[in-house]
Structures are given as structure tokens and as C-alpha cells.
Structure 1
Amino acid sequence: MSEIFNIEKVAVLGTGVMGAQIAAHLTNAKIPVLAFDISQEIANKGVEASSKLKPSAYYNPKTVEMITPLNYEDHIDQISECDWVIEVIAERLDWKQDLYKKIQPHLKKDAVITSNTSGISIAELIDGMDNDMASRFFITHFFNPPRYMKLVEIIPSEKTNADLIPPMAVFLEEALGKGVVYAKDTPNFIANRIGVYGMMASLEEARKKKLSIEDVDGLTGSLIGRPKSATFRTADVVGLDTMCFVANTAYEKCTNDPERETFKIPDYLQKMVDNEWLGQKSKQGFYKKIDKGVIHSIDLDTLEYTPQNKKRYAGVRLAKENVQLKDRLKALAYSDDPAGEFVWEVTAKALLYSANRLGEIADDIVNIDRAMRWGFGWELGPFEAWDAIGVTKSIERMKQENKQIPKWITEMLAAGHTSFYTRLEGFNCYWDVNKKDYLPIPSSQKELRFYNFKYNGSLIENHWSASLIDLGDGVAGIDFHSVLQAQLNPIDGSILQTIYLAQKWVEDNGYKGLVISGDGANFCAGANLNMILNTAKRKDWDELEQTVRTMQDILQGLRFAPFPVVAAPFGLVLGGGFEVIGACDKIVAAGESYIGLVEVGVGLIPGAGGNLRMISNLSRKIKSAMPGAFPVIQKAFETIGFAKVATSAKEAQAIGYLQKDDRIVVNRDHVLSEAKQEVLDMSEGYSVPEVETFKLPGKSGRLVLEGTLKGFVKSGKISEHDALIGKKLGHVLTGGDKG
């Protein structure tokens, strides 16, 4: 909770899909909510529906109890209890204005009032509003689903008290884990303006080049750092009616936009909407499920669904030869084949459109790039992507193709500056179009990245998949960054070597402690299975046993290091990833941490301490006279045997992957900073953990577990092979050969 802006209770006006989910996410931050709607029945149904969404809107489903569904007629006076009132009703200006008049007499005198509108002008929203309420009113535009999408766009009016914006931004970042960008009061603000332009341009270019739906999605998804759903699948998920609404808003209201015609709904798309082929919610859109595992795509000319037929392109092959996204994007954009030509054209259009909107929709390129990364799931914002493909080279090609280059970019290049971002005097900087110079990128003091330390002379040791870095104040950090699978960071020899080296280095240099984390999308998705598989294929059991023993020894060394070790996991924390964090003194986990021991799913059992850590954690969680007693072992067996993965850090605590004194930080960008502070807090008077002992149930407990497995096989819940793996797991958990 922000100390600057104390929000203890929130009123959410509207319990539709967005309103109910915003209410749900507030409960994730332990903030009680009054959820209002026009009738008690609608309010009740809206809140109830939020608890059934997949993926879940809640860290813990029980926190739905923190939401009180209410109606305006009977309960409007209770709005006076709330520090923040957020309106999330349908996009009808007259409805919104009527609601503001209704709540105005009941507002707390210092309450902040915001709207979640996705495109209505704030100037229109405050028309007729009294000055006091208008001074406390601005737009906070969340993206769907609000638990998972990081972006919130803030748009103030000329009457908004500017002093309210910074503390509200801090609250959104710290309490709700959001990334805040500041937008101008223009139609669709930043992310929807550029994102929908990019989608509409892709639709237009696909038709021109006669590319299939599936080919376009193959070119505009994870290959170029966009969500896997790419273009057409994303439209189906969002809803074709919603996409058309946003596009039409730009077409109707952006009358001076030179690219206005791109937002015009093409005839085939309008016909699909008229036919109610709206995508996922109507079971057909650009794609249609024909049978289980059989999905057809639509032909944009005939509007008939046909089997998918993905083509192979040389440009895609060239791109896939590169591990790093920047290299893939560059290779594909300059590839001389239909795939390269398509990607170049839609990329160039999006880049130029973003550059031409600078000053109109946002003051700087940082807000635009962040909006697209946080709101549309792009790995690189437009200007970051432009740097990746080379500003000078791309501008030369654009000029050859008679594309109009924005004046400010021409001036930047003429002044000898060839990138939008650079690093100067230890700071990450961006090109500011007004100052005509590089300025430091603004960031929260709680936002730490290994990347910044590496380029400040703080790199101690660099390996293929991990590095040891000096984080300052006597704290060292291990940064996971797999050279081959940067998205997953599987544990390999490089990571193990770095962990081993770090233990010795911290002790030898008298440092206070160690943090283990990373800058990537996920902390660690487990061990390198290919390495294990290849060893097994060679039947080199001695090497495999040595590998497992090495992992065990290194992680046990971490567990009993003479200094505090804190893990800061996020995203996927699976298998060996859990075994690493489980060996640490404390865990500072991002709220969106998906933790689990999943080895059984590939015919293995945890081998580097996962079983031991679960027994230890559950012994603390399940009160029993003897650590390792059968109820603990049974729970560990169920958790590991069914490869349970927590859908949030909060659920990980409930399952037992995290302990109750481990910390959960909602904002993923703050975990490294918070973990470092934990090391500093623990370092004074630190003592090595005591060795734990467990009396395991032995043969009698093993027989019970094996009986359970037989029952599962008989009922068809698991296969004979699953039972074999389960039997091996039970053997270990109950004491192994000594049991």
C-alpha cells in the first residue's frame, strides 16, 4: 500500500466484465470493495460471474467475500465510505454523466473519482460537473483482463488537481502492480489508437498480398515479439464487435488523421459482425472450431471456412535462426520474400504512425512504447522495435518507397543521433522530441533491473545462462538469462556453476548476502530436459547420477550458506526453478508467480531437493507432533504426484510451495528491489539455518500410497505408467531404501 495515497475502500460503479474484474483485482491487494449496479440482482450476478472466470480474476477465490454487491437505489449513501470511486459502466456519455450527478452528493470530501472509459473524451465526461468534483476526477483506463494486463492509462482534464496524479500513480504501481502511462485526451488514447491501427493495417495488407489468416498469425505472433494470438486470433478473443467499435471511434472522431481511412471497417468485416460471427464468444470469427482439435480459418474473399494450410517462408526460416528477438525481427523485416515484405510493410506503417502521433496522443516515446508493451503484450514498443531493425537503414528504405518521414526524426538523424534509445553516463535515455536531446527514462525507485547494473561496471562474472552481479550495498545478485531459451531459463551447467561460484564469491568478499532472480519473462521453467534425455538415451547412468548429485550439493550449499539468500521469482517457477527458490532463506515472489513441481508430467520425480522442501514447508503448515508424519507425506505426494501448479503466489502459499512469512509483491518490476532489501534486513545477526530432521512413515505409509495409486488406475484416473512413477515418488517420500 502506498504511504502517499491511503486508499482503504473502493467503490466500483458497474459490475459488468471489466467492473467486476477490477473489483476482483482490488481484493488481490486486500482492499475491500463496494460494487454497485442498477439492481441488486445485476450486482450479485456480476460479482458471482467474476469468480467463475478462467483464467481466474482472483489470487485466492475466497477474497470475493471482500466485495459487497450493492444497488444505487438502496445503498448509494455508502459511497461516502470510499476513498476512490471508479466508474466502469457502458460507453454511453449520457449514462455516465447522469451517474456522476447521482453520486456527487454522497462523495467523501477528498475521494478521488475516475472513469475506466476506453475512449470517451474527459472534456465531455466533466461537461456540467461541478468544479470540486471535476478537480478530483480523471480517467484511469485499465486493460482487460485487469489482473493480468499491466497497463493503466491516466488522462487528466484541465480541471484535474495535478497533485492527485503522482500519488495515484504510485498507488496503482505499488498496490495493484500496474504500469502507468500518461496519455492525452484524444480518441482511444495511446494503446488502442496504435494497437488497433496496427491490426487494421495488418488486415488491409493481408488482403492486398492475399495471405491466409493462419499465415498472417504465424508472422505477427511470438516470432516478432507479439502475443501468440497474433492478429486474427487476438481479434477473435477480443471480439470483432469490440475491435470494430474501437476502430470506428477513431474513424468517426479522428477526422484530421491522415491515416483515417485505415480505421474504416472493411465490407467483409462488417458482414461478419452483421452475421454475429464475433469470434470466441460466438464460437466463430476469423477462426471456427469444426471438431475437437480441428479449427478452420475464414477466407476473406468468400467468407467461407476452410482447413488451415500454413505456408513455409524463407524469411521465417532466417528469422528462427536467431535467438534474440531484435535479431529475428531484423532478419524477417529485411527478408526478400512474401513474409518479409508483409512484415516490413505492416511494421513500417505502425512505426511511422506512432511517430506521427507523438505530441498528439503522448508527450514522449517512452509512454507510447510502455503502452504497447503493457497493454498489447508487445515485447518491444514501436520505437524499441525501430531501434532493433536499425533507424538509419529503415529510413533509407522508407524514403526509397516514398514514405513520408516525420520531421522530428529527420532532424534527429541530421544531428548525428541514430537511435531513439541510448545509454549515457550510466543512464538509460530516450530521445526527447521537445528538448531535442536524450533524457533519462523515468522509473520508480523500486524498479531494479540486472540489465542496468551490468552496464555500470557491476558485472562480476558472466556465463552463458547466468551472471553474478554486484547490486550495491554489499549485496550480490544472480541473474538467470539462458542463451538458448531466454523465455524459460532452464537449469543447465552454466546456471549451476554460477550459483556455486556466487556462494564462494559472496563469502570471500565479505558481502552481506545474495539475491537470485532475472530480467526475463519467467524465472525458471525447470531443468534442461534435453540434457537429461540425451544422458538417458546413452544409458550413461553414472553421469546422470553425478548431475543430480551436483545439483543437490550446490542447492544444499545454498541452503546452509553463511549469509542470507533471497529468491525473487516471477512467472513460471517450475520443477528445478522451485528447487532453487526452496533452498533460499526467504522468497519475495511476484504476485503472478506460477509455482509447481511438475516433473511427474514428463515421467520424472524431483531430484534436486524438491521433495525435501515440500516436506519441510508442509511440516510447518500442517501441525503435527512429528515432522514428516504421514499427513504431511500424503499432502506432499498429492501435490507432487498431480503436478499441481499454483496460479498465483497467493495460491502457492495455500498449497505449500511458499511459506506464510515469504513475501508477495504485486508489481513484478519491484521484486528485485524488495529482495535486496530483505537481504539487508536479514544480514545483521544472521545465523545459518538449523539442519531439519524428519521421521518418515516408511513401509506402512508406502503401502497406503500404493493402495491409493491402484485405486486411481482402477477408476481410470491415471495410467499404469503414471502409477509406476507415483510408486517411485512414494518410495522416496516415505523414506526410500531406509524406510
Structure 2
Amino acid sequence: MSRFAVKKVAVLGAGVMGAQIAAHLVNVKVPVILFDLPAKDGPKSGIAEKAIANLKKLKPSPLGVAGDADLIQPANYEQHLKLLKGCDLIIEAIAERMDWKTDLYQKIAPFVAKHAIVASNTSGLSITQLGAALPEALRPRFCGIHFFNPPRYMQLVELIATPATDAQVVDQLEAFATSTLGKGVVRAKDTPNFIANRIGIAGMLGTMQEVENFGLGYDVVDDLTGKKLGRASSGTFRTADVVGLDTMAHVIKTLQDNLSADSDPFYASYATPPVLQKLLDLGQLGQKSGAGFYKKVGRDILRFELDSEDYVPGGAKADEVYARMLKKPAAERLKLLRNAEGAPGKFLWAILRNSFHYAAVHLEGIAESARDVDQAMRWGFGMRQGPFELWQEAGWLEVAKMVQEDIDAGKALSRAPLPAWVFEGPVAEAGGVHTAAGSWSPAQRQFVARRDLPVYARQLFPERLLGEAGEGFETAGTTLSETDALRVWTLDEGEDRVLIASIKNKMHAISPAVMEGLMEALELAEAEYAGMVIWSGDAPFSVGADLQATMPAFVVGGADAVESIEQELQQLMLRLRYAQVPVVAGIHGMALGGGCELAVHCARRVAHMESYIGLVEVGVGLVPGAGGLTYIARRAAENAATSTGKDLLPFLTEGFTAAAMAKVGTSALESRQLGYLLDSDIIVAHKDEVLFVALNEARALASSGWRAPHKRLFPVAGRSGIATIRGSLVNMRDGGFISDHDQYIATLIAGVVCGGDVDAGTLVSEEYLMQLERKAFCGLIAHPKSQERILGMLSTGKPLRN
């Protein structure tokens, strides 16, 4: 298959979705033009320009770095259609109106390059009908591409082909969406609302109906249907508020308008719930309008009450007994819920039963296989498991019998029986729809394997569904050593073998056992391997030093015991930096505190786009003590050396502020701005490609003749730099921006990064600065206010300001 090179993309429509799709394209370094209608007043491209400016204000930010909004080129349909000729991909994302979309297609058709792909971002309109509006020559290069909102953060992208779409076009677009955009791609059939919204919105409607049946409050339902159920923390009604009640109503209307009682046995459950209709009538559209099912008044969260058409105090939670039920193994859990006496338990069984029923009945019509349904619900609705996965885990035939009994008793949303394949044939014999051979396809009457596109070779350990084939990274490859804290292993054979070190501790915290294991792994790598990668599978990369392991040492041995641990940790960092083989950090998720220090001392970093990197020790009343402040000072000196100015302080400001304010990069791109990633480091869009790229980077460094950097002395800002920073800190304290203890900690940080009580320009070593770090760290761990912060974090998981 020829390579599909996307040099430039056009996004048509500068609304919420279009502008944010353009933003994500900029995040992954794809040049993009954002089109909209010509403005009636002011600059002709004013609508697109305003949308681009608004991107900088949105929270959560659609941009990895807010200033990158300026890289999006604004355009309008009146003046700039010729620009389409230079675009390899055109994504239409205007309002969900069939007539508006088809009119636009006719307008752009003469300007589409002969090789370009045209894709419509729609949440449920018929892709086949849309494609019919294009000239016949363009139809093979047209398909649907459904991003989920917000496009930067939501992993799911649904691709929908028409009967005329060239198969190679969909393959090319899947590869682009996967590796360049970092998405999880599901191919959906061209049916109303496709897969995720079809099942997800039907599930929300069914939940609302069961809420009425069991008389539960919205806050109680959200408590039950959030994390406790293995779903998005926002639950049901808060999710509706975030999505927008008008958006939800539009998706519901798509079901109502395009389906019927003859074509869908669940059609009766698609009626707009009375409470949703009332909120729409009142103009309460959810988060965007400030009120929906919930409204925030001051610090209080109120919930809507249909009877009074007003808001009443919220925050109610279900009895803890149901949370305990939901922690039980799947089979026991479902039986407990089905047989529960209380309304919350019966409600939970009802919504789970409905999800199994609906997914089974509609599988053949909306998806190629059960895999697409479960992955769509994972990636699009934040579920820990899709409906088929949970059903299979709980015992396929036993659950099926329970569901069918409820259908026969008239308790379900529809009287449609479960399909015959549920009870007999390959699925029943295998005990579920996901097997080593693949996932069940009712249309093909067989288990279908995953698509074998070349792009998926980059995912060495892709996200697997329950029952699927494929070894997890925890046992893959050849294990060279393993403890409870660390596994050292390799996937390679031959001369360019690379060692992999995977931390096993909770949250991948760095304990003394992890430190010892990494030291031994380095020695092995230097003796027998081309390089080493530190990668621990799922996020986080590491949340830092193991405080729970450090505190007992302090209680028993005091500050001296802690200093010994810190010195060992610092020695590990220097071993990493000066290792005789390249060491690459493979970062996904959080790299905080000691995790950040571990990463910055490696030769290179390969970071997933959604990596959050920073020195956060101030939050627990400490200073970075494993070389983080030394790194800031050294990098400032290195950057200053490239300048004509002699003052080090300007080059220290960003690093000092980041450490003193516990600032964390909100993306890998921002972490690069903070200095925790360098221009030579690699940022990848897909989390499952981090290991592949990190291994290749280690091999590339080794094959290019890697040598560790020379140890050098470097200048520091000295006591004059400390005095300048202290003056700013006093002003911040007097202004009420920081507490006395914050000021004290920040002063200690300034003392380290400036090199202590020495003249400006004094040359120092990393070991000298690390000694200053240890002194500051150990002094703080004995400080009562820092101990309050440490204990507060360990007990609540949240930083304490005192």
C-alpha cells in the first residue's frame, strides 16, 4: 500500500468541533487551514479568526500549548477555496444539517485535489446519503470520520465507509488517525448514530427511564453510575450536562427520525424524557448555559427537580452497601444486584441488563464484530469494560439466562429476545464473544481477528479486551531478573538488543528496591546490551519517590536515614545520565517529582502527547531532592552559554518558578516549554506506540556511536541571584499569594538552583548542588509544617496548604 502523506489538512467549519479538530491537528504538527463562512462585517475570515482566538480560552485546553493557536490558518469559502488544492485531507465539520453539508460539498468539489480524502465529521447522519452529493469521481475518496468531544482528549474516532468508498482510503485514514492523531479507531456501519452514540445514548435514555421506575435522585444515580460502576466519573446526568442537553437532544432526534418500531424493537425507549424536554424548554442546556440537571451556586451543587421545576440541594449518595456489591467479582456482583431488595441495587441490575440486551440485539446491524462495540464504549464513553466484556466475565450463559428471563417477564425495555447465537453455536461453546481467534461477528458467523494494518505493528502491547489473544507486557519477552518492585526484560535478539526496565510498584513509585533494581539493570545493560528503556506499561510513568517507604526510615533513623536514601537516589540519577549506553525514558501519563527527575536524567525521552511532567514536591512540603534542582541549574547554565548575556538569572526564572509553584506541564508540548523535555526528545500521539519508538530511539543512539556526556563544572547565579528571588518571594507573601511556609520552601529552592552562598559565576559540580538539595530536603522532612503536608497527602491524596 502506498504511503498516505498528509502534508496539510483543511477543516471546514469553525464551530466547537471544527475548531478543536484543527487545534488537535496543530498539536501533532499537521499544518491546517480552518474555513468558515465569510463574515458580514470586518475581515472576511473573521469567523474563523474568532474561533481560533477562542481556542486559547477553553478549559480543558484543546491545545498542547495555547500559543499554537496562531499556527492555524483562517480562511473563508468566498476567497480561499483554491487553498483546498494543496490539502491532502479535508474534514467537513459544519452543523448537523444534511442540506447544508451537501450544499458545501458541491461548492468545494471543483477544488479538491485528485488524491485528497474528503471526510465528514458527523455524529449520526447517513454517510452514504452525504456522499451522494459529491461528483462520482470523488465518492471513492469520501467517508465519515466521527471525532468525540473534546477531540484532543477523547480517544475514539469512528470511521464509516459508504458502498462507494475505496477500501484503501479507509485503511489510509485509519493509519493517519491512529499514529498521527493518536486515536483508537473503530469502523462502524452506516447506521443512525453509528456505534458509540447508538449504544451510549440509548443507554442514557434507558437509565433515565429506570430512574423514573425506581424513583432515585440524579445525584444518587451519578454516584452509582460513575467510577463505582467502572464508568466515567461524571456518571449519567453530569455527563449529559457536560455534553450539552441540546447536543444530546439532537442525537436522540436522529434515532427518532431515522428509526421506527418496525426497524428497531427498542424504538419506544427513544422518546425524549420529560425532564430533558423540560430543561430544554427552560433553556437549561447543561454546563454551557450554567445549569442543566445540576447548577452550581457558590460552592453548592444543586440538582433539578421536575415536580417543582426548580433546583434543590444535591450531593446525596447511595448506601455504601451498593459500593461493596460493585467491588465483588463480576458473577457475584450481578447476582447480588439482581436479587437486591433496595431500589439502587435493582436499578443497577436493570441498566446493566438493558445494556447487554441492547448490545446483543443490535450488534449485527451496527458493527462488524463485538470488539468494535466494546472498544467504542471504552474509548468514547470512558467505560472500564464494554458491555460484552462484563457479560463474558460474569459467565456468558448464566447471565444470558437471567437477561432472557427478565425479557420474558416484561421487565426489559423491549420484548425482543436475545439472538440465537447468544445461546447456541460458537459463542456459547467459547463462553463469550471475545476469544483468541477473534471477536464474534454475527454477520460472518465466526470470530473475526483484528485488522492487520502496518500501523498496528507499532503497538507492541495494544489495549486488549477480556478474552482476546495476546500476551501482556508483564510476562512478554525474556525476563532477566524480577522482584516485587521491578522487572528487567527484553524483546530482542542479536547485537542491538535493548534492555527494558519496568517498575511494578503502585503508581510506579520509586522505592529503595526500585533504585537497587535500576542500578543492577544499568550494569547489565552496559555489559551486554545496546541500550536501556525505562517503561512500565500503563500510566503513570512514575509519581515519584515512595513517601510511604521513606517515612518509616525517618521515624526510625531520623534525617540521617532519609539523607542516605536521598543520596542513593541522586547516585542513581547520575548513573543514568553518565551511563555508557543510552537510556531512554518511555513516558505515558504522570512523571511527577522523582518520576520527573528519573526522566530528565535519561539520555532521551519519548513522551506520549498526554504526559504531565513536573517537580511537585512543594505540594508535600519538600523540595526536589533527587537532582531535579541540579538539573534546573545545569540547564540554565547550558542555555546561558548560547547567549551573549552574562546574567544567569533570566535563564533560571522558568525552572525556578516551575519547581517553586509545583507547576506541571499540561501536555508533553508544555512540558517541553518548561524544560522537562528537550527539542531532541520525541513526542508521540498514541500511547501504545511509546515503547516501540523508545526502543528504536535507544537503538538509533547506540548505532550512531553513543557516548555519555562529559562531566563539566558550570556557573551558578550565587548569592546575588538568591537575594533577587527572595525579594520577589517577600512581595508574594505580603500580597497573600503564598504562605510563610511556601516562602520558606521557595527560598530553599532558590538557594540550591543559585548554588548557595557563592559569588555569581562560580563554577560548581552536580554533586555539589545535590549536596545542597539533600540538606534542604532533610531539613524540611523534619519540619512540622512539612510533616503536616506529607501526612495530608498520604491520607487524602490531595495537597495541603498551610
Aligned equivalents of 1:513, 1:471: Cα separation in 2: 13
Picking from 596, 601, 605, the partner of 2:623 is 605
Note the 1:553-568 alignment, pairs <5 A.
553-568=571-586
Corresponding position of 2:198: 193
Residue range with higher mean Cα deviation, 5-14 or 539-548: 539-548
Contact 1:44 1:69 in 2 (8 A): yes
Given candidates 514, 528, 542, the residue that maps to 2:560 is 542
The aligned counterpart of 2:607 is 589
Asked whether the equivalents of residues 35 and 43 of structure 1 are also in contact (C-alpha less than 8 Å), the reply is yes
Q: 3-state SS of the aligned residue for 1:549?
A: helix
1:709 correspondence with 2:729 = yes
Q: Distance in 2 between matches of 1:329 and 1:579?
A: 42
Q: 1:718 aligns with which of 738, 748, 758?
A: 738
User: In structure 2, how many angstroms separate the alpha carbons of the residues matched to 1:445 and 1:480?
Assistant: 24
| Equivalent runs, 1:7-46 vs 2, <5 Å | 7-39=6-38, 40=44, 41-46=46-51
Higher mean alpha-carbon deviation, 21-30 vs 121-130, is at 121-130
Instruction: Please name the residue that 2:251 is paired with.
Output: 246
Give 1:693's aligned residue.
713
Q: Which residue of 2 aligns with 1:675?
A: 694
Q: Map of 1:87-126 to 2, 5 A cutoff? A: 87-126=92-131
Letter of the structure 2 residue corresponding to residue 233 of structure 1: R
CA distance in 2, matches of 1:610, 1:619: 14
* Code of the aligned partner of 1:698: G
Secondary structure, counterpart of 2:697 in structure 1: helix
Gaps of 5+ in 2: 39-43, 409-416, 463-470, 758-767, 773-802
| Distance in 2, Cα, partners of 1:353 & 1:121 | 21
Question: For 1:497 and 1:412, how far apart are their aligned partners in 2?
Answer: 53
Q: One-letter code of the match for 1:644?
A: K
- 1:558-596 Cα offsets, whole Å, 9 max, x none, are 333332211111222211221121121100111111111
User: Which residue does the alignment assign to 1:651?
Assistant: 670
User: Which whole-Å CA distance do the structure 1 matches of 2:345 and 2:393 have between them?
Assistant: 15
What secondary structure does 1:159 align onto? Answer: coil
Q: Give the corresponding residue for 2:423.
A: 410
Report matched runs for 1:445-464 at 5 Å. 445-449=457-461, 452-456=472-476, 458-464=478-484
User: Larger deviation: 60-69 or 215-224?
Assistant: 60-69
CA shift for structure 1 position 696: 2.5
Partner-residue secondary structure (3-state), 1:131 = coil
Deviates most, 516-525 or 327-336: 327-336
Give 2:502's match in structure 1, choosing from 479, 493, 517: 479
Give the letter for the 2:567 counterpart. Answer: R
| Amino acid aligned to 1:499 | L
Alignment match of 1:420 (pick from 430, 433, 450): 433
- Equivalent residue in structure 1 for 2:748, among 699, 716, 728: 728
Q: Which of 429, 439, 462 in structure 2 is aligned with 1:430?
A: 439
Cα deviation, residue 76, structure 1: 2.2
Displacement of 1:303: 3.8
Q: How does 1:338-349 map to 2 (within 5 A)?
A: 338-349=343-354
- Whether 2:310 is the aligned partner of 1:311: answer no
1:703 shift after superposition: 2.2
Secondary structure in structure 2 of the residue aligned to 1:73:
coil
Q: CA deviation at 1:640?
A: 0.6
Contact 1:628 1:694 (C-alpha < 8 Å) held by counterparts: no
Q: Contact 1:188–1:250 at 8 Å: present in 2 too?
A: yes
SS of residue in 2 equivalent to 1:571: strand
2:525 corresponds to which of 501, 506, 509: 506
Q: How does 1:175-190 map to 2 (within 5 A)?
A: 175-190=180-195
- What is the TM-score with the length of structure 1 in the denominator? 0.91
TM-score, normalisation: structure 2:
0.84
Question: 2:508 corresponds to which residue?
Answer: 489
SS in 2 for 1:153: strand
Instruction: Work out the CA distance in 1 between the residues paired with 2:648 and 2:339.
Output: 63
Residue 697 of structure 1 and its aligned partner are, at CA, apart by 3.0
Contact 1:85 1:114 in 2 (8 A): yes
Residue 628 (structure 1) shift: 10
Cα distance in 2 for partners of 1:717, 1:244 equals 44
Match of 1:445, as an amino acid? A
- Tell me: CA distance 1:535–1:269, structure 2 relative to 1, closer, same or farther (3 Å): farther
**3-state SS, counterpart of residue 595 of structure 1:** strand
Change in 2 beyond 3 A, CA 1:332/1:700: farther
1:170 aligns to 2:170 (yes or no): no
Whether 2:264 is the aligned partner of 1:265: answer no
User: Is the 8 Å Cα contact of residues 114 and 138 (structure 1) preserved in structure 2?
Assistant: yes
**Fraction of identical pairs, as percent:** 38
Taking the TM superposition and a 5 Å limit, the aligned residue runs for 1:47-446 are: 47-255=52-260, 256-291=263-298, 293-308=299-314, 309-319=316-326, 336=340, 338-402=343-407, 404-412=417-425, 416-423=429-436, 429-433=438-442, 438-442=447-451, 444-446=456-458
Q: Give the Cα separation in 2 of the matches to 1:91 and 1:694.
A: 60
Of the structure 1 ranges 393-402 and 207-216, higher mean CA displacement relative to structure 2 is found in 393-402
Aligned length: 725
Is the contact between residue 595 and residue 652 of structure 1 (CA under 8 Å) also seen in structure 2?
yes
SS across alignment from 1:7: coil
Question: 3-state SS of the aligned residue for 2:79?
Answer: helix
Per-residue deviation, residues 498-517 of structure 1 (Å, max 9, x unmatched): 42343244345x12222122
- Note if 1:616 corresponds to 2:629: no
Query: d(CA) in 1 for partners of 2:176 and 2:671?
Result: 25
> CA-to-partner distance for each residue in 1:57-90, whole Å, 9 max, x for gaps?
2222333233222221222232222222211111
- The verdict on how the C-alpha distance between 1:467 and 1:719 changes in structure 2, with shifts beyond 3 A counting, is same
Give 1:625 shift. 7.7
Aligned residue type for 1:231? T
Judge which range, 150-159 or 448-457, deviates more: 448-457
* Structure-2 change in CA distance of 1:472 and 1:219 (3 Å): farther
Aligned AA (2:123)? S
Name the CA shift for 1:330/1:266 in 2 (closer, same or farther; >3 Å). closer
CA contact (8 A) 1:295 1:307 kept: yes
Moved more, 136-145 or 540-549: 540-549
Could you give the per-residue CA deviations for residues 272-305 of structure 1, whole angstroms, max 9, x where no partner exists?
Answer: 11111111111111111121x2111223554432
CA distance in structure 1 between the partners assigned to 2:21 and 2:234 by the alignment: 23
Q: How much does 1:610 deviate? A: 1.4
Structure 1 window deviating more from structure 2 (338-347 vs 21-30): it is 338-347
Q: Could you tell me how far apart the structure 2 residues matched to 1:505 and 1:595 are?
A: 28
Deviates more, 1:159-168 or 1:327-336: 327-336
How far apart in 1 are the matches of 2:748 and 2:498?
40
Give 1:141 shift.
1.1
Instruction: Report the AA paired with residue 704 of structure 1.
Output: T
C-alpha distance in structure 2 between counterparts of 1:3 and 1:664, whole Å: 25
Aligned partner of 1:189: which letter? F
Separation in 2, partners of 1:31, 1:332:
51
Deviation digits for residues 185-240 of structure 1 (CA, Å, limit 9, x no counterpart): 00000111111112112212222222221211112112233221121111001111
Q: In 1, are the aligned partners of 2:143 and 2:165 still within 8 Å (CA)?
A: yes
Determine helix, strand or coil for the equivalent of 1:390: helix
**Cα distance change on mapping 1:284 and 1:512 into 2, 3 Å:** same
By how many angstroms is 1:394 displaced? Answer: 2.3
- Report how far residue 536 of structure 1 moved: 5.4
Gaps in structure 1 of 5+ consecutive residues: none
Whole-angstrom distance in 1 between the partners of 2:332 and 2:532: 34
Residue in 1 aligned with 2:488?
A: 468
Q: RMSD between aligned alpha carbons?
A: 2.8
**Structure 1 Cα separation of the partners of residues 306 and 34 of structure 2:** 42
1:34 partner amino acid: I
User: Structure 1 pair 629/268, CA: closer, same or farther in 2 (3 Å)?
Assistant: closer
Return the offset for 1:433. Answer: 4.1
- On the 8 A contact 2:92/2:120 being kept in 1, the answer is yes
Taking the aligned partners of 1:375 and 1:499, their CA distance within structure 2 comes to 37
Q: Which residue identity does 1:241 align to in structure 2?
A: D
The verdict on how the C-alpha distance between 1:439 and 1:463 changes in structure 2, with shifts beyond 3 A counting, is: farther
Partners of 2:558 and 2:324 lie apart in 1 by 35
Shift of 1:143: 1.1
Deviation at 1:495, TM superposition (A): 3.6
